[in-house]
Amino acid sequence: MQDPTAYYNAQFNARAAVPDHARIFTRWQKDSAHVRRTHAGLLDLAYGESAGERLDLFPASKRGAPLLVFIHGGWWRSLDKSDFSFIVPGYVRAGFNVALTNYTLAPTASLEEITRQQLRALAWLYRNAEQYDIDPSRIVVAGHSAGGHLAAMMLAAQWPRFADDLPADLVRGGVLLSGLYDLTPVQHADYVNVDLKLKTEHIGPLSPAFMPQAADAPFVTAVGGLESEEFKRQNALIGSVWKDRLTADVALPDRNHLTICDALAAPGDPLFDATVKLLEGLRAA
């Protein structure tokens, strides 16, 4: 039997699997800087007390529009919301508000605390929706890779238990991209777990695949055809355990673990179109 550490290190090391990953990151940063120069945005809004608890909000041109919240990946320990501003223009042109959230990176914060920070971010957006002309009854959360894990945790969140002023259906839909929903294998990927320090007792409470959806929100999944078998397994797993509300598993045969984010940003791409369809299908309260 293959050594699980070597196997999962290879399965999860997306940068090693994408030879031009440095060029992709540079392009994202350049395109995102251009978006922040040319689009109206409220940057670094504080949703909590720590320095990592900040979000960027790009408003729609019309009042009372739905909100798409994007949570970035990077194994919970790298990247920044500002790297993903390039996602914004297509959705704003389509009539939606877009928020990009940050969190304190591991190992400074534990995965439990990172998850709580995203709960605080979504709660802050809900509570301040009227101030920013957002429809609080039409909030959709999207996330990529580690952000896909966090987005799924938001779909599983018991919001009234987090705070009694929050509705059970605070999150009305989800877009889960190449996420991690069963954290059992992550313990074996030592190049990651050196920072996360996950132990067996953390797996159940932090694995959305082992939880029910909290409010039966419709959601979309996607994984790149060029990704590892483990990322494909994770994608199939969440689609299976939450199958009653899965509205689309978008096929992206030519995308890898990074360029799937380009698909999310590109009008006319099946992933972008599925996300818009999900947002448009939400009924205002």
pLDDT digits (tens, 9 = 90+) for 45-89: 999 999 999 999 999 999 999 999 999 999 999 999 999 999 999
The pLDDT assigned to 283 comes to: 85
pLDDT tops 70 at residue 26? yes
Phi, psi of 100 (to 5 degrees): -120, 125
Residue count of the chain, please give it: 285
Which 3 state secondary structure label does DSSP give 162? helix
Eight-state DSSP code of residue 84 = G
According to DSSP, the β-strands at 54-58 and 42-46 are antiparallel
Query: What is the set of domains in the chain, with CATH numbers?
Result: 4-280 (3.40.50.1820)
Rounded Cα–Cα distance for residues 71 and 118 (Å): 8
Q: CA neighbours within 13 Å on the CB side: how many for 231?
A: 28
pLDDT tops 80 at residue 1? no
Q: Per-residue confidence at 253, pLDDT binned at 50, 70, 90?
A: very high
Answering whether pTM is above 0.95, one says yes
pLDDT tops 80 at residue 2? no
